[in-house]
Structure 1
């Protein structure tokens, strides 16, 4: 698959670049994508949720009324989950939500996501980009020149660039990642995948391991 390489001002450079069929033209595996996205989202969870159960509630443990003769249900402690201020039954406890996936399955998921983007013609190749200083208006100008304003975009850089990242951080629906940080969720969550020219070789090398 061949794609034109664009300049920062949106003009065509006249050069074309060939995407690897082994990465951008495979038969997508939906289940691999599901598992990889599930793992990514699970890994984002802090797992610090906690509620107090009846043994952790501060309060007296004395029997609050006699067992029989009141006409109501028996009650043993004010900390019972049935009462307001009592402990919670089977409440959440701190836990780790992360789980393991095999490297080959994660690789297949990334290949599948990239192949979906290529099939939908949602991949664009851009000349290498760098900013002298973090300026949001410079990144907005880039999006305007590429007709990507208002779309969810993922810009993939060869290496982490602090100025480019900071320039895009306050713009809604934009995401900037280095090749080493690319993941299935980020690719699928974007309407348009913008690959810097220098990132392609690194992407093929990284994903082919």
Structure 2
């Protein structure tokens, strides 16, 4: 989830702060410290030294570690009997009520639907359901598996997942 962080926090270096570059007062004879610019960090409204700058918090995981995480998330759902396998995933039109009835029949109101290729009618019928998402096998990830209570797979999706993980 680190990739989702905005990372747009920023502070100004000396060159970016507005203000004159003239010497504040003469070098000698004032009894004060020697200063060159009002933009220096010790002055109010001055620069910030080594402050934050926009950056990406994204990091990459090795393929084997990513695969291992997916295997462990799926095995956790299997161990807790939270995986439902269907022959096919079809929606009767774009009605959320019909899909909700179908999910209540499976006792899976907060669920992740995974199919080989997700049908547009399925996407339309779950778009207004708050805790239901649909993904193709290629988009299957650990966060979504753990976030949802039940995992509903089709037989086609199950075969593709086995190919992907073996």
Question: TM > 0.5 between the two?
Answer: yes
Query: Structure 2 unaligned runs (5+)?
Result: none
CA distance in 1, matches of 2:88, 2:16: 58
How far 1:178 sits from its partner (Å)? Answer: 0.6
How does the TM-score come out when normalised to structure 1?
Answer: 0.64
Pairs within 5 Å for 1:4-43: 41-43=1-3
CA distance in 2, matches of 1:133, 1:181: 24
CA distance in 2, matches of 1:97, 1:163: 36
How does the TM-score come out when normalised to structure 2?
Answer: 0.78
Choose 100-109 or 182-191, whichever is displaced more.
100-109
Bigger relative contact order, structure 1 or 2 (CA pairs below 8 A, ≥6 apart): 1
Q: CA RMSD in A?
A: 2.8
How far 1:82 sits from its partner (Å)? Answer: 4.5
Deviations 1:30-55 (A, max 9, x none): xxxxxxxxxxx233345454432222
Choose 110-119 or 100-109, whichever is displaced more.
100-109
SS of residue in 2 equivalent to 1:55: helix
SS of residue in 1 equivalent to 2:78: helix
CA distance in 2, matches of 1:46, 1:191: 28
Report the counterpart of residue 144 of structure 2 in structure 1: 186
Pairs within 5 Å for 1:8-87: 41-45=1-5, 47-64=7-24, 68-69=30-31, 76-87=36-47
What is the count of residue pairs matched by the alignment? 164
Point out the structure with max Rg over C-alpha.
2
Query: Structure 1 unaligned runs (5+)?
Result: 1-40
